[in-house]
Every structure is written in C-alpha cells, then in structure tokens.
Amino acid sequence: MRLCSAVASAVRIAAALALTTLASPAAAAEEIIDGVAAQVGNEIVLVSEVTQYTDPVEKQIREAGASDQDVQRMRSEVLERLIERRLIDQVVKKAELEATDAEIDQTIAAIAKENNLSPERLQQSVEASGMPMSVYREKIRGEIQHAKVMNGMVRARVRVEDDEVKKVYTQRFANAPEGGTEYHLRHILLPFVGAKPEQKASVCDKAKQALARIKGGESFESVASRISAVNPERGGDVGWVHESTLNDWMVPIVKSLGPGQTSNVVESAFGCNLIEVVEKRSSEKKSYEQARDQIYEQLFRDKMDVEYDRWMDKLRAQAYIERKGAFASAQRPSTTPPVSGGPSGAAPAR
C-alpha cells in the first residue's frame, strides 16, 4: 500500500530531523533517578524518556541564563508531548492504523533519495549517530502511524473557504506599498526586566553572549529558539517586512546588513536586540492569484493547530492521566504543538 503524499512528506521531514536531534544525554545539573513520569491509561512515560530530550537542551538554556523554574517548565512541556504520543499510539491501535514493513521501506528509500544518499549510506549515517537501524525503523513506523492519525482525525476536519482567503488578501496585500525593498528578518529580543541600569546591563550581557555563540558557528535560528521573546517557536523569524514598516531604530541596522549577516547588540527602549537579515528583495505588490496559495497554506496551518488542540483536549478528557514524582505538580501547557518524531520533531502533514 502506498502512502498518500501528505503523510509521506510529513514522515520524511520528521524522520530526517530525528537524525539531528538524537544525542547522548548530557549531565543534568540536577540528577533525576529513573522512574515513572506519568501514567496514560494502561501505559507509562518513563523519566528517562523525558530526560533523553531535555538533558541536551538543559545545558544550553542554562548557559543562556535559564532559571531552575525555566528548566522545570521545559521538562514539563516535553512530558506533555510524550503524553500526547501515548494518546496517539492508543488511537493507532484502536483504529488499526499500524504501519507495514513495506511502508517503512518506502519511506526510508524516499529519505535517502531526498538527501542524495544510497540506502547503505543512510544506514551508516544513522548508526554513526548512535542509533541502531532497528530503532530508526521503529521511529519511522511511529511517524507513519502518527501522520495517518493526524490526516484522518484532524486534517479531514479542516476547511478553508475562498472568502476567507480573499479577506486575508485584502487585509494584507490590497493596500501594501509598491516599490522599495522587503527584508526577511529574524529577531532576538531580550526584554528589560527592570529600569535599573545594572539590570539592563545584565540583559545586554546575555545578548552579547548570544552574539558570540552565533559568531562561533551556532545558527541564529537555534539561539533565538532558546532565548528570544520574539517568535522563539520559529527561531525568531518575523517573515518578510517592507522597509516602510520597520521601526525607526531598525532602519539603519537592517539597511547596513547583507543577506546572512547579523547585527551587533542594539539597545532599544524595551530590551537588547540582535537582527539577522536572511534575504532581501525588491518589493512588488502581489496579485490575488500570486498570493492565494501562500494565504491558503497559512490559514490551513492555523486551523490545523486549533483543530489539533480541540481533538487532543477530547482525547485527554477521555483518558486517565496522572503525572508522578517530580512531575506531579506540573501544569499542562495551555497549547501544545502536534507531536511528530519526539519533542523536537516536525509537525504532522497539513
């Protein structure tokens, strides 16, 4: 049986990410003895499953100034992702959506092709990362099954009407400026937490440390995802911005940077900032036909997120969930992105 293109695409993205997110757990600042982190129906989530994902990240966010409370919040969020995986696994079993070996072979072959690798070279790459190929195949199996569930239970309920697309076009493009330059920007903002000069200096010191990490080879996106108050879930990405809509303090900075360049630390009225110009282009007013697909995809993604939250809330309400030990007092995040490939995997097909 062939996978539908939406399912296969989501699986390939998430599985490729799995190659880069698997790592040996770093030494945690606080030792956690293995045990049960949560019970989900008749299944459990182990503490070691949580720390597999949190330990490599904890060292990095502590270096960026994260507190014990920030670390505990991060652990709790990862636990919620794993709870969701258990809930989705249960749906897979009930709906008999298990992935076949043929589907797994097909997906692995597609991953190898998209990365310009032979199947043998892909296996060598997987095993060199410390993951046995048998474990990788099980991760692929999980991706396929979860993508099937998401397409059947969530995607099928989402509709975007032409009137909605036209309304957004009117709001976003109808009165857009013509000519000039547009910039695709990423933004790291570390907001001031007090008015005292020493507090502001401490914030800007953290921004300087972040800049040093970027100059040392770490991507702007990676650093922003951990410390920025602006769109951390998108690596600080603010999208395309026309020069006429830039804040006054940003104009000389953005115009002085070329594609791929990062500014020095800039202090503004509300915090310390780093700006990266990803790309720039001449601005041309888009027709409805040119903008329709882009708007449709964004509306569809937004509705998928809402529908996913609604569906997951229903699953949670129907299941017995108990957080245990150090996680017993953890508060469930108000919204949790779809799970695919582990806590840092890609979102399901949309």
| CATH classification of the domain holding 249 | 3.10.50.40
Verify that 150 and 203 share a domain, yes or no.
no
Residue 265 lies in a domain: yes
Buried b (16+ CB within 10 A) or exposed e, 226-254: bbbebbeeebbbeeebebeebeeebeebb
Per-residue confidence (pLDDT) for residue 109, from 0 to 100: 92
Concatenating the DSSP letter of every residue in 11-66 gives: HHHHHHHHHHH--PPPPPSS-----EEEEETTEEEEHHHHHHHHHHHHHHHHHTT-
Beta strands per DSSP E along the chain: 36-40, 43-46, 181-191, 237-242, 261-262, 266-267, 271-282, 321-323
Domain count, the chain: 2
Verify that 149 and 272 share a domain, yes or no.
no
Q: Which of 229, 257, 282 is the last residue of a domain?
A: 282
Q: Which of 223, 249, 282 is the last residue of a domain?
A: 282
Adjacent-strand bridge partners of 271: 191
Verify that 151 and 299 share a domain, yes or no.
yes
Verify that 226 and 278 share a domain, yes or no.
yes
Q: What is the CATH number of the domain that holds 312?
A: 1.10.4030.10
The answer to whether the beta carbons of residues 240 and 234 sit under 8 Å apart is no
Verify that 17 and 146 share a domain, yes or no.
yes
Residue 197 lies in a domain: yes
Verify that 301 and 272 share a domain, yes or no.
no
Residue 49 identity (one-letter amino acid): E
Verify that 13 and 153 share a domain, yes or no.
yes
Alpha-carbon gap, residue 124 to 133, rounded angstroms: 9
The answer to whether the beta carbons of residues 11 and 109 sit under 8 Å apart is no
Residue 234 lies in a domain: yes
Residue 288 lies in a domain: no
Verify that 188 and 308 share a domain, yes or no.
no
Verify that 113 and 184 share a domain, yes or no.
no
Residue 269 lies in a domain: yes
Residues of the chain where predicted confidence (pLDDT) is lower than 50: 1-32, 333-350
Residue 194 lies in a domain: yes
Quick check: helix, strand or coil at residue 331? coil
Verify that 70 and 147 share a domain, yes or no.
yes
Per-residue confidence (pLDDT) for residue 180, from 0 to 100: 85
Verify that 93 and 151 share a domain, yes or no.
yes
Per the structure, the complete domain to which residue 269 belongs is given by 177-282
Verify that 300 and 203 share a domain, yes or no.
no
Residue 342 lies in a domain: no
Quick check: helix, strand or coil at residue 316? helix
Cα 281 to Cα 53, 183, 278, 292, 298, distances in angstroms: 38, 7, 11, 20, 21
